[in-house]
């Protein structure tokens, strides 16, 4: 519900508090804004003189009296003014967009850096599509506002002020006539804003729902096709996108009614000018001249143009304000793992201890309950247990993806909260069951762009985990392209790359979380051979379902309902005849070969 409400934020067409906060990102580029505003002011003055007042001069002082002398020079001056207006408008438009792009670049980086610091809890509770929207379409909405609304609204204000000044100077009576329809336009515009606001809320809500549904279905397309859900999902998407279309059609109808109405009222103002001015010119010699009447007709068209543009600008501004509200709401979230004020600088040796640790992801259900164990430096400890027993939570706490509720997690006898997060995690290697590969090449997915890892380190890590063989057999070898999510590689190949990635940093602590559960028997055999060598002189924590992979562990901990139910070596636990023995019987009673023929961790 909170995510839905977050996407339903509509906001005001202008929020001073929000704009003040946005301007903090503009301040480093204020010179662009100042120069563009100066250029805009000069452009507006030229525009008003060339396209408004010059008409009066030409008609009253040349055309009306049949004067030809000087008309050519006036035409040349007019062309020069148009050229000058073009130059100043170009400068204004270019600098505003430069300022906008630089501002959005900084804001996007700030938002991305903020997301990088957020805890796993934050990401587990929010849909990916919503976060992507903040970095993409919401930033673009702000860019559109800065590029198309802020300065141009200032331009509209200058034009209105300038036109009013010219009109009142030339004829106060005609000014009142031309503005007679203004109260109707203002009233109608206010009514339109209220109606379009409600329609816009529906559009944003349904757009968010549609994007979320698309993201979920595209990500899970394999499952959709396996279980034949295409027809049902198509019907659901048809319903969602149909609602989105209907909401857009409501807003289209309101725009379609608003724009012609304003156009009609603007034309009505011109009709009133023609009637009133024409009658006065025919009856009164002191009436406004024909040139003044033409100026007023031109001025009326330009005066009502900003109001005709109100619909688009209102839409852009409201979209931007809503986007800014969502962005700053995200930036104000501080679900982060706090860094210590004075982080520990001691080199990591590799011992691990969980001391009376209890943890819950929420307030109601404890995942770990007062567990304690030690992994001495260079030793191997395995965690086994049913799904939901807390095995992966132990890993999350060791890497400090979450902080413990009670107790302590210690590395080398020091609480992990006293290590800088980067220093803590950079000396530990982690291999997960579900391997995530980035688009790029194989070497980049092993080294992950870390400058301390050389190509030689990458090659050595690949050789150590038996990945070098398959890498050499593909075109491009270490520079071979890796498609999104590693689509061109097999599950086993991706798992081998994840081992190479973890070992490239030469970790003091190596953590394997179901690392061989997704690979075939042949690949697992290659991995087991590599791990026998790689685990020497390293502290190893192994989470496994396959009991054959942990028979040589120095100690095995059996977790049950968040507690350590049993502990001991493989043989000791079998002799106890408890939970481990039952797991062993269920899994490998008839499948395991004698230890002398099996290479196990």
Q: What is the pLDDT of residue 521?
A: 63
What pLDDT, on a 0 to 100 scale, did the predictor assign at position 12? Answer: 59
Indicate whether 139 pLDDT > 60.
Answer: yes
State yes or no: pLDDT of 80 exceeds 60. Answer: yes
State yes or no: pLDDT of 482 exceeds 60.
Answer: yes
Which one, of 437, 432, 532, lies nearest residue 480 by Cα? 437
Q: What is the pLDDT of residue 548?
A: 67
Confidence of residue 13 (pLDDT cuts 50, 70, 90): low
Q: How many CB atoms are closer than 10 A to CB 162?
A: 20
Residue 512, pLDDT above cutoff 80? yes
| Partners of 512 in the β-ladder | 431, 542
Provide, rounded to the nearest whole percent, the portion of the chain with pLDDT above 70: 86
Cα–Cα dist 411/559, whole Å: 21
Nearest residue to 155 via CA among 28, 386, 309, 52: 309
Query: What kind of fold does domain 432-506 have according to CATH?
Result: Rossmann fold (3.40.50)
The per-residue pLDDT for range 348-385, each reduced to its tens digit, is: 888 899 999 998 887 778 888 889 999 998 888 989 88
| pLDDT winner (highest mean) among 26-40, 210-224, 496-510, 527-541 | 26-40
pLDDT for 294: 79
Using the predicted structure, report yes or no on whether residue 189 has a pLDDT greater than 80: no
pLDDT at position 7, please? 52
Residues 6+ apart with CB under 8 A from 29: 98, 99, 102, 103
Rounded-to-integer distance, Cα 98 and Cα 433, Å? 46
- Per-residue pLDDT of 220-239, as tens digits, reads 776 777 667 788 888 888 88
pLDDT band at 285 (very low <50, low <70, confident <90, very high): low
Instruction: Decide whether 14-331 matches 346-427+532-601 in CATH topology.
Output: no
What's the CA gap between 429 and 432, in Å, rounded? 10
Rank 49-53, 128-132, 294-298, 327-331 by mean pLDDT and report only the highest: 327-331
Q: Average pLDDT of 122-149?
A: 77
CATH code that applies to domain 346-427+532-601: 3.40.50.300
Q: How many CB atoms lie within 10 A of CB 493?
A: 20
| Contact between residue 174 and residue 356 where contact means Cβ atoms under 8 Å apart | no
Between 519 and 510, where is the model more confident?
Answer: 510
- pLDDT at position 354 is 92
Across 283-287, average pLDDT:
62
Q: How far apart are CA 428 and CA 403, in angstroms?
A: 17
How far is it, in rounded angstroms, from Cα 514 to Cα 435?
11
Whether the predicted pLDDT of 161 surpasses 80 = yes
Sign of CA dihedral 27, 30, 32, 37: positive
> Rounded mean pLDDT of the chain?
79
251-255, 407-411, 511-515, 545-549: the lowest-pLDDT one? 545-549
The arithmetic mean of pLDDT across residues 169-173, rounded, is: 80
Structure tokens at 318: 């409201």
- Cβ-count burial 253-270 (b if 16+ within 10 Å, e if not): ebbeebbebbeebbeebb
In the three-class reduction of DSSP (H, G, I as helix; E, B as strand; rest coil), residue 358 is classed as strand
- 411-458 pLDDT, tens per residue? 988 898 888 888 888 888 888 777 777 777 888 888 877 778 888 888
What does the pLDDT read at residue 277?
73
In 10 A of CB 446, how many CB atoms? 27
pLDDT of residue 249: 84
Q: What is the DSSP letter of 336?
A: B
In whole angstroms, what is the distance from residue 492 CA to residue 578 CA? 33
227: left (phi over 0), alpha (psi -120 to 50) or beta: alpha
Side-chain-side CA neighbours of residue 59 (13 Å): 14
Overall average pLDDT of the 47-61 stretch: 75
Domain residue ranges of the chain, discontinuous segments joined by +: 14-331, 346-427+532-601, 432-506
Q: Which residues pair with 354 in a beta bridge?
A: 373, 409
Question: Which one has a higher pLDDT value, 463 or 208?
Answer: 463
User: Tell me, what's the pLDDT at 87?
Assistant: 92
Q: How many residues does the chain have?
A: 601
CB of 133 closer than 8 Å to CB of 208: yes
**Which fold is adopted by the domain 14-331?**
ABC transporter transmembrane region fold (1.20.1560)
Angle between helices 137-145 and 128-135 (to 10 degrees): 20
The edge-to-edge listing of strands for the beta sheet with 366-375 is 366-375, 352-360, 406-411, 414-415
Q: Distance (Å, rounded) from C-alpha 511 to C-alpha 430?
A: 5
- Kindly report the CA angle at 576 between 551 and 595, in degrees rounded to 5? 25
Instruction: Report how far apart, in Å, the C-alpha atoms of 229 and of each of 61, 69, 129, 211, 243 are.
Output: 79, 82, 21, 19, 21
Per-residue pLDDT, averaged over 567-571, amounts to 88
With contact defined as beta carbons under 8 Å apart, do 253 and 243 qualify?
no
Q: Is residue 522 classed exposed, middle or buried when 0-12, 13-18 and 19+ CB atoms within 10 A define those classes?
A: exposed
Answer positive or negative: Cα dihedral of 577, 579, 580, 584.
Answer: positive
Q: Who wins on pLDDT, 80 or 340?
A: 80
| Kind of pairing between the strands at 428-431 and 509-513 | parallel
Question: Looking at residues 25-47, what average pLDDT do you find?
Answer: 88
- pLDDT given at position 592: 45
Closest CA to 92 of 13, 50, 148: 148
Q: Extract the tokens encoding 20.
A: 């003040």
The C-alpha atoms of residue 119 and residue 281 are separated, in whole angstroms, by: 76
Pull the structure tokens for residue 141: 């909405």
């Amino acid at each position: 519900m909170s995510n839905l409400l977050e996407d339903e934020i509509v906001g005001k067409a202008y929020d001073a508090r929000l704009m003040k906060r946005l301007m903090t990102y503009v301040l480093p580029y204020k010179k662009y804004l100042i120069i563009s505003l100066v250029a805009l002011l000069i452009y507006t003055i030229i525009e008003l003189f060339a396209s408004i007042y010059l008409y009066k001069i030409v008609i009253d002082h040349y055309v009306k009296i049949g004067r030809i002398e000087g008309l050519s020079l006036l035409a040349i001056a007019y062309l020069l003014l148009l050229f000058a207006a073009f130059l100043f408008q170009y400068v204004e438009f270019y600098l505003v967009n430069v300022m906008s792009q630089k501002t959005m670049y900084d804001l996007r980086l700030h938002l991305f850096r903020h997301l990088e610091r957020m805890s796993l809890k934050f990401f587990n509770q929010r849909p990916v599509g919503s976060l992507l929207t903040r970095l993409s379409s919401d930033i673009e909405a702000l860019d559109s506002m800065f590029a198309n609304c802020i300065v141009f609204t200032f331009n509209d204000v200058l034009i209105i002020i300038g036109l009013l000044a010219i009109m009142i100077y030339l004829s106060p009576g005609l000014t009142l006539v031309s503005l007679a329809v203004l109260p109707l336009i203002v009233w109608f515009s206010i009514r339109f804003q209220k109606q379009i606001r409600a329609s816009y809320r529906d559009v944003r809500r349904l757009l968010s729902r549609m994007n979320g549904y698309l993201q979920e279905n595209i990500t899970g397309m394999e499952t959709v096709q396996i279980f034949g859900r295409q027809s049902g999902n198509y019907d659901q998407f048809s319903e969602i996108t149909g609602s989105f279309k209907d909401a857009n059609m409501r807003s289209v109808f309101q725009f379609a009614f608003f724009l012609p109405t304003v156009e009609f009222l603007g034309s009505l103002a011109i009709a009133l000018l023609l009637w009133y001015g024409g009658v006065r010119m025919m009856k009164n010699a002191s009436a406004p001249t024909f040139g003044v009447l033409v100026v007023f007709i031109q001025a009326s068209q330009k005066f009502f143009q900003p109001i005709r543009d109100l619909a688009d600008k209102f839409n852009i501004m409201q979209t931007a304000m809503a986007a800014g509200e969502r962005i700053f709401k995200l930036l104000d979230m501080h679900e982060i793992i706090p860094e210590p004020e004075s982080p520990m600088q001691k080199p990591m040796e590799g011992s691990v201890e969980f001391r009376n640790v209890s943890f819950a992801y929420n307030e109601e259900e404890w995942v770990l309950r007062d567990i304690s164990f030690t992994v001495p430096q260079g030793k191997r400890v395995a965690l086994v247990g049913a799904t939901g027993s807390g095995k992966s939570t132990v890993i999350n706490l060791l890497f400090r993806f979450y902080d413990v509720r009670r107790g302590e997690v210690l590395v080398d006898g020091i609480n992990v909260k006293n290590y800088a997060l980067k220093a803590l995690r950079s000396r530990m290697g982690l291999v997960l069951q579900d391997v995530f590969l980035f688009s790029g090449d194989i070497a980049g997915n092993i080294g992950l762009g870390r400058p301390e890892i050389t190509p030689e380190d990458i090659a050595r890590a690949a050789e150590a985990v038996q990945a070098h063989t398959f890498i050499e057999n593909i075109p491009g070898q270490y520079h071979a392209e890796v498609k999104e999510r590693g689509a061109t590689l097999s599950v086993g190949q991706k798992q081998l790359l994840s081992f190479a990635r973890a070992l490239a940093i030469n970790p003091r602590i190596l953590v394997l979380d179901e690392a061989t559960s997704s690979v075939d028997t042949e690949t697992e055999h290659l991995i087991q051979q590599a791990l026998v060598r790689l685990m020497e002189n390293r502290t190893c924590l192994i989470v496994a379902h396959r009991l054959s992979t942990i028979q040589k562990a120095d100690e095995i901990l059996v977790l049950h309902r968040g507690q350590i139910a049993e502990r001991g070596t493989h043989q000791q636990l079998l002799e106890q005849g408890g939970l481990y023995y039952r797991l062993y019987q269920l899994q490998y009673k008839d499948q395991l070969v004698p230890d002398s023929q099996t290479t196990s961790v």
